[in-house]
Amino acid sequence: MRFRMKATDAINSSAAFLAPDKVFVNSIDGYIYCVGESKGNILWRFSTGEPLSHTPITLGNTVYTISERGNLFAIDVETATERWVAGGMSDYLAGNEKRLYCLDVRGNLAILDTASGTRVGTVPSVPADMPFLNPQTDRIFLVSSTGLLQCLHEVNLPWPVVHYQIEPFKKPTVTPPKMPGQKTSQPVENDPFGPAGGKSAPPATDPFGESAKPAAPVAAGGDPFAPKP
């Protein structure tokens, strides 16, 4: 264990990560905590005044969180100040730099403007009684308990907008230590068994014969292994 963060009440949701080194945690005590990943120190905390049990969402330089009273808070990551609050939201589904897609308390798909929090559109009564949180891309997944699964996207965005990517692990290159008195070997080019200089001489026409000309054909009935005259 590298560190442990203690809130004044229970933490009932997953944490959110924002590159390069920030972790956000919600608590029932009404605070959203910003924690430094390397040391585990609390960089700041913001009080919503309402219990928080949903997983926070990070997009760009903003962290979003929904309270148990249905208020969606947009908080500036750098200054820990409130940008706006939108009421009547129950779950976050997906988003991009311009729009957020949430489920409201009536079961409608609400489209919010990221700059102001105003509702710019509504899709009524979407079949999504099992909310699916997608913090990695802008794809909207609607999951129903009856077995219906739908994936929606904006018309002008045929390819997913990826918010962050996990870099694959690269195995470090280890150079063996040089022993005392050991000479550094130089790379050998071309033929390592050729003459000095690393360049091999051109091969003979027939390396196994006495001449470059092919042998005369053997007459019919003759002995091909007889000695030459």
pLDDT at 85: 97
Answer whether residue 181 shows pLDDT above 60. Answer: yes
Q: Of residues 164 and 81, which shows the higher confidence score? A: 81
Q: Measured between alpha carbons, how far apart are the two ends of the chain, in Å?
A: 90
Spell out the domain ranges in the chain. Answer: 1-87, 91-165
**Class at the top of the CATH hierarchy for domain 91-165:** mainly beta
Q: What is the pLDDT of residue 101?
A: 96
pLDDT at residue 118 tops 80:
yes
The CB density around residue 18, as the number of other CB atoms within 10 Å, is: 21
- Find which of 1-15, 63-77, 168-182, 190-204 is predicted with most confidence, using mean pLDDT: 63-77
pLDDT greater than 70 at residue 130: yes
Any idea which fold 1-87 has?
Thrombin, subunit H (2.40.10)
CB atoms closer than 10 angstroms to residue 164: 12
Predicted confidence (pLDDT) at residue 166 exceeds the cutoff of 90: no
Q: What is the dihedral of CA 13, 142, 66, 9, to 10 degrees?
A: -20
Mean per-residue pLDDT over the chain, rounded: 83
Determine whether 196 is exposed, middle or buried from the number of CB atoms within 10 Å of its CB (0-12, 13-18, 19+). Answer: exposed
What pLDDT is recorded for position 192? 58
**Lowest mean pLDDT, pick from 106-120, 136-150, 207-221:** 207-221
CA dist 229 and 225 (Å) reads: 12
Dihedral over alpha carbons 63, 67, 73, 76 (to 10 degrees): -40
- Answer whether 1-87 and 91-165 agree in fold: yes
Q: Is the pLDDT of residue 214 over 90?
A: no
- Pairwise pLDDT comparison (214 vs 88), residue with the higher score: 88
Those residues with Cβ within 8 angstroms of residue 89's Cβ, 6 or more apart along the chain or in another chain:
66, 70, 71, 72, 102, 103, 104, 105, 110
Q: Which of 62-76, 168-182, 214-228 has the lowest mean pLDDT?
A: 214-228
**Average pLDDT of span 97-112:** 94
Q: How confident is the model at residue 70 (pLDDT cuts 50, 70, 90)?
A: very high
Q: Is the pLDDT of residue 207 over 70?
A: no
- pLDDT at 177 > cutoff 70: no
- Provide the CB-side half-sphere exposure for 148 (13 A, CA): 8
The tokens for 49 are 């005044």
